[in-house]
Amino acid sequence: KNGEEMSIIALNQVGYVPNGVKEVRVVKEASTFKIMDSKKKETLYRGSFKKTIDDNASGEKVYIGDFSDFIITGKYIIEVDGLGDSYPFEIKPNIYSELSNSLLKMFYYQRCGTDLTTELAGDWAHGPCHTDLATIYGTDKKLDISGGWHDAGDYGRYVGPGAKAIADLILSGNFTPTLLEEIRYELDWMLKMQDKESGGVYHKVTTPAFIGNVMPDKNTTGLIISPISSTATGDFIGVMAMANRVFKDIDPNYANKLLLAAEKSWLWLEKNPKVKGFTNPKGITTGEYGDEQDGDERYWAAIELFLSTSNQDYHKYAIESFTKNKWDGLDWANMGTYGTLSYILSDSIDKDESFNKLLKSEFLQTVETISENSNKDGFGISLENNYVWGSNELVADNALRLVIASKLTGNKMYMDQAQRHLHYLLGSNSLSQCYVSGFGTKTMENPHHRPSTTVGKAIPGMLSGGPNKNLQDPLAKSKLSGSAPQKCYIDAEPSYSTNEITIYWNSPLYTLVNSFVLQE
């Protein structure tokens, strides 16, 4: 009998690094557990549930057993007295390297405008998609906007979300040829989204409406380029200027091209200081990514431009803007923290010492709150009650903040807390659900993702959006009413508000996992 049949015995179904935090959680009264080899021949460790937490988000009393001091490489099962067996798990150095590769490979699977070969894409291979010229909304003008990554389960390509995804991948600092090639694929597309005259950046390129379940190369409805937005323009600048420093030594010409494009777009922002947030124009019903506040995108843009050019005008803009507004956020609507992190992690000699101090203390204050919330939480994560659309991204984002804060301060507790966030996403939660397709025993199998649905099998390495207490699709409404926030999740294709996948949910998880890949 496994954890599901008997009771929830929650743990990281992928596994643990030997020196990592290791815990098992149950939601029924239990006192002791033992670790056995995977054939259950031998008992190798005995432990007890020493701690309990009344957990609001899951509505459960959570019993926590710690076995961090069990560090022997191997494959195991935990038997909890009276409750049964856990799913199997492993302890091993580099336990996350396959997961890391797979999370990155997801971006390849999301590629638009190119052949996905059978050799590389297996059952999900398809011909080049969305290669026709796209029409600028409200005009007869057509442009080549081929390339980039499909955003999610749909085939739209949106600038803001793409910028977050690239920024996260860059934050990993793991500049392998594969990663560089992948981000370049999206950057090249994004360059095409810039209006070459004004420097403004188009918000998105999509079909007018969401389409049915077909492979991307079978979707030939006309593509429309939605109008320029200030948020897309700010995000474009942020990521172009950031990528400039990544490619500077590798390919100086390319790096320069990215920076020139970013500076050109800044002129558009300067000419358009007050603009309304993007809303779908008449006749377009695909993802809106509406965001009325563009101050955070402008701030991020200014920081990256300053770090790449040393031009004090950008510096001044960023200092004034932040001092007034304390921009924050690592999600598609709030991008301020990307600017802050670039600044405090940079070794540029042009930095302003007192501004650096301010940014650092604001960032560390946010992390302190995350840390306190994690300590109070039954599963050791920091969402409190914030289980909204894409909640798993917020888990990964907060974990990333903890990792970075741990590096900045040397506080090891932050690293332990970051690991619990990872454990949550890989099965240590009140549903015992591993939210990454192809990984774990109770793995996510039915994503809202057109290629996976069409082929009849989920592409591996994709992070589901996860629990969403707002029940924003018909299936969630009918099946989940009355469920605790952390349980508002269904592994079913129609539930786009709990089980879609996106490039910008995979990206923070990739970067998080990467910070543990090399850990012993």
Closest C-alpha to 306, from 317, 297, 296? 317
Please tell me whether residue 224 binds ligand G3I under the rule CB under 6 A. Answer: no
Give least dist CB 499 to Zn ion, A.
21
Residue 464 is a binding residue for ligand G3I (CB under 6 A): no
Nearer to Zn ion, 378 or 451 (CB): 451
Paired tokens of 9: 């015995």
388 binds ligand G3I (CB under 6 A): yes
**CA 422, 424, 427, 431: dihedral to nearest 10 degrees?**
-160
Nearer to ligand 9MR, 308 or 499 (CB): 499
Residue 74: strand, helix, or coil: strand
Q: Give residues with Cβ within 8 angstroms of 352, minimum separation 6.
A: 315, 319
- Token pair of 258, please? 């990215």
Q: Which is nearer to ligand G3I, 390 or 440 (CB)?
A: 390
Contact segment (CB under 6 A) with ligand 9MR among 118-126, 228-236, 242-250, 492-500 equals: 492-500
Instruction: Specify the stretch interacting with Zn ion by CB under 5 A; choose among 9-17, 112-120, 223-231, 466-474.
Output: 112-120
Distance in angstroms between the alpha carbons of the first and the last residue of the chain: 32
Q: Which is nearer to ligand 9MR, 147 or 287 (CB)?
A: 287
**Using CB distances below 5 to 8 A depending on partner kind, what does residue 10 bind out of ligand 9MR, ligand G3I, Zn ion, none?**
none
Q: Is 347 a catalytic residue?
A: no
Say whether residue 145 binds Zn ion (CB under 5 A): no
DSSP code, position 482: T
Quote the CA–CA distance of 217 and 43 in Å, as a whole number.
Answer: 53
Smallest separation (angstroms) from ligand 9MR to the CB of 472: 8
Residues forming a β-bridge with 501:
464
* Nearest-angstrom CA–CA distance, 72 and 90: 10
Residues 384 and 478 sit within 8 Å (Cβ to Cβ): no
How many CB atoms sit inside 10 A of residue 118's CB? 11
Distance of CA 404 to the CA centre of its chain: 16
Return the number of the residue (131 or 198) whose C-beta is nearest Zn ion: 131
Supply φ then ψ for residue 3, to 5 degrees: -55, -35
66 near 49, Cβ under 8 Å? no
Q: For the window 487-506, what string marks contact with ligand G3I as x by the rule CB under 6 A?
A: ---------x---x-x----
Does 491 bind ligand 9MR (CB under 6 A)? Our answer is no
Under 8 Å between Cβ of 62 and 30: no
Which of the choices ligand G3I, ligand 9MR, Zn ion, none does residue 502 contact, using the CB cut-off of 5 to 8 A by kind?
ligand G3I
CB of 383 to ligand G3I, least distance (A): 11
C-alpha atoms less than 13 angstroms from C-alpha of 7 in its C-beta half-sphere: 19
Name the catalytic one among 60, 263, 473, 491. Answer: 491
Among 287, 440, 451, 485, binds ligand G3I (CB under 6 A): 287
Q: What is the torsional sign of CA 305, 307, 310, 312?
A: positive
Catalytic: which of 154, 168, 291, 397? 154
| Residue 500 annotated to the active site | yes
Out of 22, 34, 105, 130, which residue is the one contacting Zn ion (CB under 5 A)?
130
Q: Which residues bind Zn ion (CB under 5 A)?
A: 112, 129-130, 216
Q: Which residues bind ligand G3I (CB under 6 A)?
A: 151-152, 154, 156, 287-288, 388-390, 470, 472, 496, 500, 502
Residues tagged active-site:
154, 448, 491, 500
